[in-house]
Amino acid sequence: MDVRNIWGLGVAILIIAGSPQASAQDAQHPAIADYGAITPLPEAAHRPLADQPIRALFEVSSDASGPEGVYRGLDKVARFLNLLASAGVEPHQAQVKVIIHGAATSLVMNDDAYRDRFGTANPQAKVIEALQGAGVELHVCGQALARQNIPSDAVAPGITIDLSAITTLVLLQQRGWSLVPD
């Protein structure tokens, strides 16, 4: 291991250890507790840098759930934030947006609306709250809401209703956002 890698690892450890969330986190979840587990690789190549602009647009359209019942697309966003943190980049230093549509649309429903429709509280509410707390902007396709008869007042707080996922995907990529597909 050369000196630059040792220095980078030391800085990453200091940043993570000095962050207010670090005491509640572990090496697999340095930014988002309970979601998006990672394996820290301090010597790996292509590590993000704190002074490097990061603009990521995640598309979440599948209702595929992981082993803990969390939508895989949302867990992928949490994993991205944990990977950034493991490299010394705080989640708030990156610009991260999520556009939700298709089979995943119902995950944006508030607990009352979700309970009325499915008989239980929204199981995605905690991961959504964790992502929003880390500065992630969540958006939902207005066309998908209309097609699935989900009124705008049923959408959880802090989630923006866009004209459509299609327009969001095209416009943000034209503005320099890197797409991470579902």
Record the tokens describing residue 13, joined without a space. Answer: 């450890």
Give residue 82's pLDDT: 96
* Domains, the chain, with CATH or none: 3-38+52-180 (3.40.1260.10)
H-helix or E-strand spanning residue 114: helix 111-118
Tokens read off for 66: 């992981």
Query: Does the CA dihedral 40-98-34-102 come out positive or negative?
Result: negative
How far is the C-alpha of 54 from the C-alpha of 81, rounded, in Å?
Answer: 11
**DSSP letter for each residue of 120-138:** S--TTHHHHHHHHHTT-EE
Strands annotated E in the chain = 55-60, 95-100, 137-141, 159-162, 178-180
Q: Given this model, what pLDDT does residue 25 score? A: 65
Global pTM reads 0.84
Provide the residue-wise pLDDT of the chain in tens; the chain has 182 residues: 444 444 444 444 444 444 434 333 688 999 999 999 999 998 999 999 888 899 999 999 998 876 678 899 999 999 999 999 999 999 889 999 999 999 999 999 999 999 999 999 999 999 999 999 999 999 999 999 999 999 999 999 999 999 999 999 999 999 999 999 98
Instruction: Give the whole-angstrom CA distance, residue 174 versus residue 96.
Output: 16
